[in-house]
Amino acid sequence: MRETLGVMKALADESRLRIVAALNRRELCLCQIVELLGLATSTVSRHMSILQQARLVESRKDGRWTYFRLDDTGPAEASESAELIVRQLRKDSQVRNDSKRLKEILKIDPEKLCRTQSECKR
């Protein structure tokens, strides 16, 4: 029951639901998720940490970049919940808008995107 509760708590946030929907069948760099959500890198990192603790997402490092994807090796509760969320949110207007925006974001080189975000912080 604890794992199920942890998953439910992790999914009890609009931004984290949007992240799960965006990661459906793809891997994204942290900077791409930041760009999609329009939130501070630290805020998105915190959301990613919560999703990782619930074993909904997993990450890998590639040089300076961190990439995330849905965790298909975690407990059944997590992967089944992620699948359900993705199916349920397919018709949501915010998720549809995110999907369109993500197509544009994916055209941008992640290195350039990260550099632009770093320059905006200054």
Domain ranges of the chain: 2-121
Dump the DSSP string for 55-100.
TSEEEEEETTEEEEEE-SSS-HHHHHHHHHHHHHHTT-HHHHHHHH
Q: Is the pLDDT of residue 122 over 50?
A: no
Q: What is the mean pLDDT of residues 104-119?
A: 84
Q: What single letter denotes the amino acid at residue 34?
A: V
**Model confidence pLDDT, tens digit, residues 53-67:** 999 999 999 888 899
Q: Is the pLDDT of residue 34 over 80?
A: yes
List, for residues 77-101, the tens digit of each pLDDT value: 667 777 888 888 888 999 999 999 9
Query: Could you tell me which CATH number the domain at 2-121 has?
Result: 1.10.10.10
